[in-house]
Structure 1
Amino acid sequence: MAPTDSGSGDRLDLARHIRAHDMVVWGQASAEPRTLTELLLAQRGRIGPLRCFVGIPAESALTLETSDGLDVHSYCGSGTNAALQAAGRLDVVPVHYSTLPRMLSAGPLRADVVLVQVSPPDERGRHSLGLADDYFSAALDTARVVIAEINDQVPYTYGARTIGADEWTAAIHTSRTPGRMPAGRITEQIRAAAKQVAGLIQDGATLQFGIGALPDAVLTELHDRRDLGIHSGILNDSAMRLIEDGVVTGERKTIDRGVAVAGLLAGSERLFRFAHRNPRLLLRNTAYTHAPEVLAASHQLVAVNSAIEVDLTGQVNAETAAGRYVGAVGGAVDFLRGASRSPGGLPIVALPSTAAGRSRIVARLSGPTSTPRSEPLIVVTEHGVADLRGLPVSARIERMLAVADPAHRADLEAAAAPPLAA
């Protein structure tokens, strides 16, 4: 593709490139090209009805007020996506994260248009994808239109993908702080559960962690470890501090030794500065970060993912709470399976045992089964560790009762009678 437009955002007429009913895809979280998405939303009335695929929001331009006239799809209900879904403005696609690159490159969700935020060019004229080379970047090769936002506050990061001016249809130049993603609030209950998880993590382990206060709290408990590695879908400020403090060195990794690997950076301006031309950090696309063979070959891969509720037999709901879609299937199963096949790996689902006085260890899930009980799991709460791997249902129930809140154990035990225990 040769560029047909360039300049500042206020002079770019998106209607020249985007057609009614196109599927438009852009980077998630800190990688959202917000000047372009703001333009898209401002000009949507002239373009006509559009379909969009979005990920995790972080100071996103897409809100309840700006989403009319759009048919929005997402794999997750995080942040402001939850309000969009509750209002009927967002349709959830419940899929494993590892399948997203293929879905956005072919089939009913194939991207017609990709909006991408990139760094200034290097000495060869190549632009880094900056803050994410995850699921959306596969669509750069198949979309009819690619529009770039060249943001001089986006770091140049190392990894698999760069892009040049011959690969986009149009481009604009901006200077603005990428969307920030603050850490969740860590309560004493969350910290207690995180300490239980941290007690399982040995020197030299390779870490994967999901989004949320509990995985973040786990990272804050690891500053006395040595030679940890990172291979994760996301890298945040807490992980950055472990690298800065010499806790994460990657020296014992079997793949990508000496570097931290992630698909997405999500955090503060300090994280963005840390990532700029940092050889200790590689951003790779989802086809690599979530690849079964890569995960299985990783040394002591410890996957730490959160959940909304877990039942007494080990089924996990990570999608809905009180009837609202607030989470995702996401990459949890991809990483839990990888960790279970990794030599010395640990497939962990961690959660506080209660929320608002209600038990999050339940007899029966109130929502969908995001991770089935057929997956090997270790469930952790502030009350302990329930290693369910290889256990029959009756033994699973016994171990899950032990990590439930004591105030709820009698009711849960009564509910665990047949047919649940069958």
Structure 2
Amino acid sequence: MTRFSAFVRPNDTVVWGQACGEPRTLVEALVDQGADLPAMNWFVGINHSDVLGETLPTHVQVSSYTATSGNRRLVAAGRMDILPTHYSTLPSWVSTGATAVDVALVLVSPPDAEGLYRLGAGEDYIAGAARRVRVIVAEVNPRVPAQPDSVGFRRNEFAAIVESDRPLAAAPELGEPTPTTLAVARNVAALIPDRATIQIGVGAPPTAILRELADHQDLGLHSGLINDDLGELIEAGVITGRHKATDPGRHVAGTIVGGKRAIAHCATKPDVLLRGIDYIHDPATLAAQHQLDALNGGLEVDLTGQVNTEAIGSRYVGSVGGGTDFARGAVRSGGPAVVALGSRSQTGSTIVARLSGTASIPRTDVDVVVTEHDTARLRGVGLDERRHRLLAICDPEFRDASAQT
């Protein structure tokens, strides 16, 4: 096994791929050796594995842009710092300033006919970061989809290689959607026309929305992620990309955030095109899409239209993410930017007079808010009318309380 003491210097920042692109064998070795390594910083993304625990060495500082999935317990334990950044700006965060990275751990497929090891499970921020670091350490796994158009590396670019043959880190199963989530999803699906290009976020409402699109035709995909439900829509011929203005016939995503079905599709079909954040979230690229429909969730929406996607009170549970990036791109392309959420949570109403957390998506960029009760269209609408429309989709039990300012 690779000895990281040969590569890591004091105060280095180490970065690795996220979700299905996490090089788990390398990360496990880094954790095991952490106590014997110098003080350093680790930057992680969506974490589907249980490799990182609260008992990490105290001289290791861990940061991320998100508290979703396996990161949530690290944030709650005070072992992870959150970088509050739009997803589109993440490449600059990991290449400049205090978060500039020094060592990249990458998960790649075995060399192809061109002799290139491919980032076939995701490019997102790791592709750009790996081009800027001092050291690249590779985990080569034959289960990584050998995407011919993905970023590739030559053998001499790696300081070391570790071989593995294990399932890729898979997203946890969400289970069957609740009746409320299904009602939200049906309301959103009614807004999406055939031939639109869709972007989907993480969480239960976006996943349920995909299941309500089974009868749509010729949709396109341009999104930060591809998951199992998107893979099924592609296999079923619902998502074809036939009418996309950019990358026609290709299903564009930043990373695989799914399980066996998404991985299998990416491994056997040439129609998926993985790209980095610089391309996926580029404003000009988004605006050029054929009616991009941005479909994202939220924790709370206030009566002016601001959306909290990050925190419930003092508990940080989400991220800034790409909601604002895609909302702006969707509107410029002619499609709606949708925020979908149930009207009530375990703590009460999600349509509130004042957010309990931060305003992650400004009211200037919120287009449509959907709950199980109906749809509130906010584009071009003044504050008084916004208040009226948002209260109309609030849970009736909390409507009077939500109206209190």
Shorter-chain TM-score range:
over 0.9
Amino acid at match of 2:367: L
Q: Distance in 2 between matches of 1:129 and 1:95?
A: 24
Task: Please report how far the alpha carbon of residue 49 of structure 1 lies from its aligned counterpart in structure 2 after TM superposition.
Answer: 1.6
Question: Percent of aligned pairs with the same residue?
Answer: 45
Partner of 1:167: 157
Q: Distance in 2 between matches of 1:17 and 1:356?
A: 47
Whether 1:187 and 2:178 are equivalent positions in the alignment is: yes
Give a deviation string over 1:64-86, Cα, whole Å, max 9, x none. 23464310111011122121112
Alignment of 1:187-266 (within 5 A): 187-266=178-257
Q: 1:374 aligns with which of 364, 367, 374?
A: 364
CA contact (8 A) 1:350 1:381 kept: yes
Task: Please report how far the alpha carbon of residue 168 of structure 1 lies from its aligned counterpart in structure 2 after TM superposition.
Answer: 1.5
Give a deviation string over 1:332-387, Cα, whole Å, max 9, x none. 100011001003x1101110000126101100000111011111420000011001
Alignment of 1:42-121 (within 5 A): 42-66=32-56, 68-121=58-111
Amino acid at match of 2:266: A
Q: Name the SS of the counterpart of 2:278 in structure 1.
A: helix
CA contact (8 A) 1:348 1:377 kept: yes
Q: 1:324 aligns with which of 312, 315, 318?
A: 315
Between Structure 1 and Structure 2, how many residues are aligned?
404
CA contact (8 A) 1:204 1:252 kept: yes
Alignment RMSD: 1.2
Alignment of 1:279-298 (within 5 A): 279-298=270-289
Q: Distance in 2 between matches of 1:322 and 1:63?
A: 24
Q: Distance in 1 between matches of 2:125 and 2:115?
A: 24
Whether 1:275 and 2:272 are equivalent positions in the alignment is: no
Amino acid at match of 1:165: R
Q: Name the SS of the counterpart of 1:58 in structure 2.
A: coil
CA contact (8 A) 1:196 1:385 kept: yes
Amino acid at match of 2:208: A
Q: Which moved more, 1:161-170 or 1:202-211?
A: 161-170
Q: Which moved more, 1:44-53 or 1:225-234?
A: 44-53
Q: Distance in 1 between matches of 2:339 and 2:146?
A: 34
Q: Which moved more, 1:352-361 or 1:215-224?
A: 352-361
Q: Name the SS of the counterpart of 2:99 in structure 1.
A: coil
Task: Please report how far the alpha carbon of residue 160 of structure 1 lies from its aligned counterpart in structure 2 after TM superposition.
Answer: 4.5
CA contact (8 A) 1:240 1:271 kept: yes
- Structure 1, unmatched stretches of 5+, are 1-9, 417-422
Q: Distance in 2 between matches of 1:40 and 1:119?
A: 21
Amino acid at match of 2:201: G
CA contact (8 A) 1:105 1:139 kept: yes
Question: So what's the TM-score if we normalise by structure 1?
Answer: 0.94
- Structure 2, unmatched stretches of 5+, are none
Q: Distance in 1 between matches of 2:232 and 2:55?
A: 37
Q: Distance in 2 between matches of 1:376 and 1:355?
A: 21
Partner of 1:151: 141
Q: Distance in 2 between matches of 1:137 and 1:160?
A: 9
Q: 2:167 aligns with which of 153, 177, 188?
A: 177
CA contact (8 A) 1:229 1:250 kept: yes
Task: Please report how far the alpha carbon of residue 124 of structure 1 lies from its aligned counterpart in structure 2 after TM superposition.
Answer: 1.2
Q: Which moved more, 1:107-116 or 1:350-359?
A: 350-359
Q: Distance in 1 between matches of 2:366 and 2:301?
A: 14
Amino acid at match of 1:306: G
Whether 1:335 and 2:340 are equivalent positions in the alignment is: no
Question: So what's the TM-score if we normalise by structure 2?
Answer: 0.97
Give a deviation string over 1:110-167, Cα, whole Å, max 9, x none. 1100000001111111111011110121111110110000011111124341111122
Whether 1:310 and 2:301 are equivalent positions in the alignment is: yes
Amino acid at match of 1:404: C
CA contact (8 A) 1:219 1:238 kept: yes
Whether 1:135 and 2:91 are equivalent positions in the alignment is: no
CA contact (8 A) 1:158 1:278 kept: no
CA contact (8 A) 2:231 2:261 kept: no
Give a deviation string over 1:27-60, Cα, whole Å, max 9, x none. 0111110000000011111112210111111114
